[in-house]
Chains A and B, each alone.
Chain A
Amino acid sequence: ETGVTQTPRHLVMGMTNKKSLKCEQHLGHNAMYWYKQSAKKPLELMFVYSLEERVENNSVPSRFSPECPNSSHLFLHLHTLQPEDSALYLCASSLQAGQTYNEQFFGPGTRLTVL
């Protein structure tokens, strides 16, 4: 596998379920990001990790819990979600979080539907 991969690609869950999204990057990058993309809204940055340490939270509700066990893997743990959390969740990585040009490479996303 090359680039940034995300699993699953589609997820349907009830409001009481617990699920996790997985992201893996094969680019040797040190920074990873979670974004939320909702219809008719700009991309929202949720979390940033640099060298496995969280840099930015961006006031995301606690029902979203990120985990970055190493620089290649990023998880987003979900519990007691609301229907308005239905969206495309995108993972991205970059060489360094502090790099000025900060080119980010994106995965294909997980389409989440909360019933």
Chain B
Amino acid sequence: AQSVTQLGSHVSVSEGALVLLRCNYSSSVPPYLFWYVQYPNQGLQLLLKYTSAATLVKGINGFEAEFKKSETSFHLTKPSAHMSDAAEYFCAVSVPLGGSARQLTFGSGTQLTVLP
């Protein structure tokens, strides 16, 4: 079964420092991977998605992620953290449902804290 694992439930970085949030996937077929962000009291917002067109995927708000098949990873990075990046981040993989439908299976999330 396809799944994702997020390493580190809490990550703290200083403002201006590199952000690295880890996601590893488990899949026997080419996965379709996503990163979502959730700000307090809000729903999830798509940051970026991997569609096999390019291994380095650029998203919104300066985030990007690199698909590495050899490491089964899809880590999320941002060169310089901003206070507004403080939120919870979810990695997800698209998996088949019954029939032709698909669903997203989410990781457990990583809470990012940005220190002034």
**A30 to B: closest C-beta gap in Å:** 11
Check: B61 CB closer than 8 A to any chain A CB: no
Given A101-B32, A101-B51, A102-B32: A31 and B43 within 8 A (CB)? no
> Which residues of A from 86 to 115 have beta carbons under 8 Å from B?
90, 92, 97-109, 111
User: Chain A: interface residue count, which band?
Assistant: 20 to 34
CB-based contact B32/A108 at 8 Å: no
Interface residues of B (CB under 8 A from A): 32, 34, 36, 41-46, 49, 51, 90, 94, 97-109
With a cutoff of 8 Å between Cβ atoms, the chain A residues found around residue B102 in the complex are: 97-100, 102
| Contact indicator B94/A109 (Cβ below 8 Å) | no
A15 vs B36: C-alpha distance when bound (angstroms): 33
| Interface pair A97/B97, CB less than 8 Å apart | yes
- B51 contacts which chain A residues (CB < 8 A)? 101
Q: Is the CB of B44 within 8 A of A90?
A: yes
Q: Is there contact, CB below 8 Å, between A48 and B101?
A: yes
Can you pick out 9 interface pairs between chain A and chain B where the beta carbons lie within 8 Å of each other?
A: A33-B103, A43-B106, A56-B103, A97-B102, A98-B102, A106-B44, A108-B41, A108-B42, A108-B43
